[in-house]
Amino acid sequence: MWLPQVLKPVSGNSTEKAVHVNEVAVRRKNSSKNIHLIVNLLVKHCHVPISCFTRQRARRRGASPRGLACCPSHHLWVNPESTIRYLLVEDSTSADVNQIITLLDNGADKAIVPLSLAKSLLGTVPAHRLLLLLDVANVSAVSDSVRNAVSGVLLKTSSSGGFGLDVDLVHSVSRFFVGAAVHVLAPDLPTPSIIRKLVAIGASVVIPFSQLTLGSTSQKMISVADAFLAPVVSDRPDGLFPTVISSDLHGKRSLGLVYSSCESVAESIRTGKGVYHSRKHGLWRKGETSGATQDVVRIRVDCDTDALEFSVVQHGAGFCHLNRASCFGDLDGLAALERTLASRLVDAPEGSYTRRLFNDEELLRAKIMEEADELCRAKTKEEVAFEAADLIYFTMARCVAAGVSVKHIERSLDKKAMKISRRPGNAKQQWMPKTESPKVDSSKAEAPRTSLAPFSKVPLDRNGPIRMRTIDISAVSSEDRAKLLKRPVLRSDEMIAKVKPIVDDVRTRGDCALRELTAKFDKARLATPLLLPPFYPLAPEAQQLDPAVRDAIDAAYSNVYKFHAAQIDGAPLVVETMPGVTCTRFARPIARVGLYVPGGTAVLPSTALMLGVPAQVAGCEKIVLATPPRADGSISPEVLYVAHKVGAHAILRAGGAQAVAALAYGTETVPKVDKIFGPGNQWVTAAKMLVQNDTDALVSIDMPAGPSEVLVIADDTCNPAFVAADLLSQAEHGIDSQVVLVASSLPETVLAEVEEEVDKQAHALGRVDIVRESVAKSLIVKTQGPDIAMEFSNDYAPEHLILHLRDAPTWVDHVKNAGSVFVGPYSPESCGDYASGTNHTLPTNGYARQFSGVNTQSFQKHITSQEVTMDGLQTLGPIVATLADCEGLQAHANAVRIRLGM
């Protein structure tokens, strides 16, 4: 159970009033058992009539606020400093968005707001910081966009309906808010039985402070302990709960294992001290005789609701009876360092290095600055770890001297992480490098050669011209030439290890895992992950389709369909290899295909076209598109229209590794496919590689994928503006895009014009920051003549190859390795990306040496057959039997001999 804090307006200066954030604590006062409020945090702000978990807005003088406690959840906070703070806005007319954000910035964990105010906060306050205050009668008024923008709901009910007892109704509401926290404001005092039923369906009941007591449960009040323990069930014959004790000050390090009873938990809640149950002596007040007492910070229930965790501040020699901090050994890491420094602060000898650090602020400052500089200069993993350890040592010395603990640092980090308003993130001027960018003539200056590898890290001048690096191929060694052909290292083993838990989760839990992962990664909460036809024009999103875009898609579809229809492998191949022996090969469509279309905030109907059209032409029986949904759960109208055009059978609203897993293994609603197509980020690529190698999945993929790339070969006939535009068309994809210009005997004046055009056109792009980084890692490779240029291109094996050459069509015959070739000055790569008719799903990362781009036959499989007549077997049979005998396979030979009577 958690006891949320109360925010109440208090009187103050007329121009600037204060809002006190009062924390709820369990403590004793004048020997009476009660729950009191203590003031903890003061936030300066204009007067706002907002109260957190407070039902009555007007209070009588001297009356305590009738706050509310959510109970039971899996947490019970006993220490005020750790209490979760909830901000409840009951009247949307008396608060605005800026007030809510200010209070969240200044310590409130979550805001609970009415539906009208929630709509104003969409996209401003993160979903995990926002809950919806909702009357149970108004659930149907909540749109998908609002539901996906909150992490939970507080349901208000009337006493006349007895809602506190209607668990079935709560369950139906919780299914609408799938994956979200559901709290129920019950008008009547709930019984432990009702609490158990609500927890079983994932809901929490909210109980007014006036109905809570630290004493025994009565007809008018329920014990905090009874409410907290209601859903907890022991699996032991003696009814005790296994209890893990962890240290709140030391990163929740385990101190030991004990047992708790209902009586001991109630006593801990009442006193705030560690009280447990000894199997020999009954109630056990930890440290009562030894002095090793505990202040309880938090009590948690495990996922199976049969064990507890007490997070405590341990006093005395430690938890263990051997006078150690933990029963599982001594402290280590930061906890041990903190303890050692705290000890040395007290007893370090005068004149020792440690004493000097504590006494001499300038010395300590100098050491911190020195170690910070060395950390920044470290290169290898080992060096970084070594220098970071030194910096942490001196930083902790500074903290201990100031009375700051690791726990204080953690709390500060947590508080900063809760900020919604963000700083620009710029460094102070005194730490910025003091360099000036000299004015250079871009037509004459040469780019620095810091590395030959196109993806190497290079100095980036954000104020200078956007330039590529230049290499003369005739001046490099064979070893350096090989470096020029390399791409960024794809750590497929590391990525596969990262995606495997996601894939396994979807494989095991199906739609449930899909919905949770989609909510986590795409911020969309879906009732079902699958959309079924019709996608156009009946789907609501389809109504938003721009007619001009629809016409463009129609034209592109026509071209792509025409080119891919010509590729169909129709008539069987029939060959009589010898008299009476006929061999045949024929094509059949792959029955079920999954098409991954990257999306989310982006709109990529072109990829849907490039994958959907050949699948349609090939005659695949089931076409399933997978694309990440937008935050409100919808799919872009452009992709919906393409799905309609290509005859897709379903759209899976999911992205990343989870979508690949659903396609590979199938779920309750998502059909399993036989082959997965489509580009994606490294998570998608790793997941495709993982499922392809799983024999249980029985699924293949189109090809491995990497960052987009283009190689342009240009000679003196080129138009510099065209060349620059082609280079930038790939550079804007991402900072890891691979862009190479091979200058075939290109005059220096023309090369300078190309570089000037790159800089000028790049600055006119909206994605100029991305382009600046990708171009800085890109290369101009100088060669003598088109033959050497083409040789380099074939070794590089680019995804896109653009030929700005004299008599460009004649050079197509020289191309050995490329995904797709764009011939001549009026064939921009963009045409192939969208509408010329060729496919834009192409091999990257040098895989053009082994793979083709996606085509119609990618969606077909070829089957062979043979028919042998009796006369044919008379000739062929002895040959087969001889070879079978040679290999020692007697049954093979017998299958022939039994037919021939041999």
> Encoding tokens for residue 473?
């191929």
**What does the alpha-carbon distance between residue 902 and residue 899 come to, in Å, rounded to a whole number?**
8
At 101, list the tokens. Answer: 């954000």
d(CA 337, CA 331): 9
- Closest Cα to residue 632, out of 658, 661, 652, 653? 653
Identity of the amino acid at 229: L
- Whether residue 4 has a cis bond before it, omega within 30° of 0: no
- Enumerate the active-site residues: 799-800
Task: With CA atoms as reference, report the closest residue to 727 among 750, 679, 761, 764.
Answer: 761
What is the distance between the alpha carbons of residues 161 and 362, in angstroms, rounded to a whole number? 70
Does residue 605 sit in helix, strand or coil? helix
In single-letter form, the type of residue at position 535 comes to F
Residues contacting 813, CB < 8 A, separation 6+ = none
Residue 317 exposed, middle or buried by CB count within 10 Å (0-12, 13-18, 19+): middle
Of 366, 260, 372, whose CA–CA distance to 308 is shortest? 260
Which among 796, 805, 639 is positioned nearest to 713, based on CA atoms? Answer: 805
In total, the chain counts a number of residues equal to 902
* Sequence-ordered alpha helix ranges (H) in 253-332: 262-271
Half-sphere exposure of residue 716: CA atoms within 13 angstroms, side-chain side: 7
Q: What residue type is assigned to position 136 of the chain?
A: V
CB 706, CB 788: distance < 8 Å: no
Element (H, E) at 371: helix 361-377
Which three-class secondary structure state does DSSP give residue 403? Answer: coil
Alpha-carbon span 377 to 374, nearest angstrom: 5
Alpha-carbon gap, residue 600 to 604, rounded angstroms: 9
> What stretch of H or E contains 727?
helix 720-731
Q: Are strands 592-596 and 675-677 parallel, antiparallel or unpaired?
A: parallel
Residues whose CB is less than 8 angstroms from the CB of residue 409 and which lie 6 or more positions away in sequence, other chains included:
399
Cα-Cα end-to-end distance for the chain: 85
Q: Got the DSSP string for 771-826?
A: HHHHHHT-EEEEESSHHHHHHHHHHH--SEEEEE-TTGGGGGGG--S-SEEEESTT
Distance CA 875, CA 772 (A): 70
The residues facing 184 across adjacent strands are 155, 205
Q: What does the alpha-carbon distance between residue 727 and residue 730 come to, in Å, rounded to a whole number?
A: 6
Handedness of CA 56, 58, 60, 62 (dihedral sign): positive
- Name the one residue in this structure whose structure tokens are 């590089």: 796
- Name all contacts of 562-568 with Cβ < 8 Å and 24+ positions apart: 562/837, 563/837, 563/838, 564/613, 564/614, 564/617, 564/837, 564/839, 564/855, 564/856, 565/617, 565/856, 567/614, 567/617, 567/855, 567/856, 567/857, 568/617, 568/618, 568/856, 568/860
With H, G, I as helix, E, B as strand and everything else as coil, classify residue 280. coil
